[in-house]
Structure 1
Amino acid sequence: MADSVRSAAPGRRSDVGESGGDRLVPDPDHQGAWIVRIGGADQSWLDPSDPTRLEFDYMERIADHLDLHRPAGERMRVIHIGGAGMNLARYVTATRPTSPQIVLEPDAALTEEVRRKAPLGAHSGIKVRAVDGRTGIAAMREDFADVIILDALAGARVPAELVTTEFFAEVSRVLVADGLLVANVTDSAPLTWTRRVVAGLRATFAEVVMEAESATLKGRRYGNIILAASSAPLPVTDLVRRCAGAAFPFRVVRGGNLTKLLTGCVPFTDADAVASPGPPTGGTYFS
């Protein structure tokens, strides 16, 4: 996997459709690469000729989890909640060619544009369903997926219905016994919203870790936060090493430190959940 060359824009992608205009535009600085641009913001980046190049740092952190969960070349069934340019789905296909994948992406127009301009391979194993994450997961059978990746925003906010204890119970049902959920969310200090999401994950899964750049954890800026959860042990030592050695280092919060962070936090439920905080108005909010 190539070194990350830019930090991600937390307002990148959408779990709801947006109409009008091309949203997959050529990257003028990298021949053959494309930028998913929605509402004037660069939300995703892909190079169909090199799907292992993950330009945004948060995608590299998700890829760390994939690579540590199952070695390269080992088949795994993956569900993606949120598709955009299908960067991570392409990464899985490149590193694990026989892996079946389902992408839940309600924006059918964007999916069609991606297929037209940056088509998937004929035998990619990637199937796209034009449904939202909650609907798509509910339709999955029990013990279906090895990994579920949650990377969906409505505008610049993570939808409320994707962070509740009821939804996490559905995710747990769909995952195999040692399956992994890895999510990209966005927040800023004092991380009140994210802490409630993590509390919900801890109420559902035996193991949970949180990763972010120090500036985000310390409240100096709005940014991407990676959450990982499983009913099986997570490879914490290897995760810490990879996060620390990244071009944009992330810190891993786990165990007692995570317990302390969650003091007094109550998980979101379907009755009281809210979407994640949006980026600061007029600010720069690259993680």
Structure 2
Amino acid sequence: MARSPRPNSRSDASAPADALTVTLSSGASASMEHEGASWNLVVDGTPQSNVVPDDPRDLRFAYIRHMGRVIEHAWPGSEPLTALHLGAGAMSIPRFVEELHPGSRQQVIELEPELVELVRRVAPLPRHASIRVRYGDAREQLSRLPKGLLGAADLLVVDIFAGAQTPAHVTSVEFFEDLVPFLAPDGLVLVNIADGHELRFARGELATLMDVFTEVSVITDPAVAKGRRFGNLMAIARPRNEASTPLRERLDGIHRTLASEFPPASLIDHRGVEQLTAGRAPVHDAEAKPSPKPGRGIFTARRSGGWN
């Protein structure tokens, strides 16, 4: 059940249309588009995330909802978490974490200050939440984070996009190795991967994660997993640490949850990821490439149950 709306969480639905669009430092256009009780963040025509200000548990984009399901199953209580988010979007997951785990300590890294200010104007963050935002390139900012975050992150979310693509320099073995020191012994990494036909990029990204972490699983739409259409694959990785709990234990019961949703999704376990990535080598900085651009028409119509 959702909590009662907070006075400071009310969205700015009365703002003039031109106030809901900004130009980012990259030259891209970002806008917040009102849709009933929710707002969609759209960057250069690509829907990137959605937020329902008065109900942070209402995650309407499928891949974001999949992240939420992992958080619910991996941390079933309400104890505060320490979370590091690379990429801000509409702050959907930081809001969700705060709602389920009040008092969580959260750090967000985002390249575009204008994007964060736009989101905050339309859908302000809860005043009591400990959500700090640091601006700059995600990989560059890692070395500048507070030392207190080292070994402390229960949750580390990688959801980095420049327009419709994930930049190459945040897809490599070297990048993910830079994340490992921040993880708590039983921490988890969630990575949003976008790809389409044949999953060439996604397979390389998953092979990269498997090279750095001890276990990797994926949640996605079965049609996306088979390379039949463009969409998102949400990877879950746990560190090479004797204290880390196997994903099958952390995510017990999530299969039923995913199957009952609309549209339904499935979890590919580590063995399935091994099969999916057979023959693919990990990607290093020297050969890293950005994720593919989605084809025309991908975002002109919504699928039932929200964007994937």
Give the corresponding residue for 1:257.
Answer: 272
Give the corresponding residue for 1:82.
Answer: 87
How do 1:73-222 residues align onto structure 2 when only pairs under 5 Å count?
73-140=78-145, 141=147, 142-222=150-230
The CA deviation at 1:26 is: 2.4
* 8 Å CA contact 2:29, 2:43 repeated in 1: no
The CA deviation at 1:282 is: 4.0
SS in 2 for 1:247: coil
Name the CA shift for 1:40/1:276 in 2 (closer, same or farther; >3 Å): closer
More deviation, 120-129/139-148: 139-148
Give the corresponding residue for 1:276.
Answer: 291
* 8 Å CA contact 1:100, 1:125 repeated in 2: yes
> 2: CA distance between counterparts of 1:143 and 1:118?
31
> 2: CA distance between counterparts of 1:161 and 1:41?
21
The CA deviation at 1:104 is: 0.7
Larger relative contact order, structure 1 or 2 (CA cutoff 8 Å, min sep 6) = 1
What is the identity percentage for the equivalent residue pairs of Structure 1 and Structure 2? 31
Aligned residue pairs, count: 271
> 1: CA distance between counterparts of 2:83 and 2:172?
21
* 8 Å CA contact 2:208, 2:281 repeated in 1: yes
Give the corresponding residue for 1:242.
Answer: 257
For residues 159-182 of structure 1, give each alpha carbon's deviation from its aligned partner in whole angstroms, at most 9, with x where no partner exists.
111111111111111111111000
The CA deviation at 1:18 is: 4.8
For residues 126-146 of structure 1, give each alpha carbon's deviation from its aligned partner in whole angstroms, at most 9, with x where no partner exists.
111112221232333321311
SS in 2 for 1:85: coil
Larger radius of gyration: 2
> 1: CA distance between counterparts of 2:29 and 2:291?
27
Name the CA shift for 1:143/1:223 in 2 (closer, same or farther; >3 Å): same
* 8 Å CA contact 2:217, 2:268 repeated in 1: yes
SS in 1 for 2:236: strand
More deviation, 236-245/113-122: 236-245
* 8 Å CA contact 1:189, 1:217 repeated in 2: no
* 8 Å CA contact 2:73, 2:252 repeated in 1: no
Give the corresponding residue for 1:24.
Answer: 32
AA partner of residue 281 (structure 1): R
TM-score, normalised on structure 1?
0.87
SS in 1 for 2:287: coil
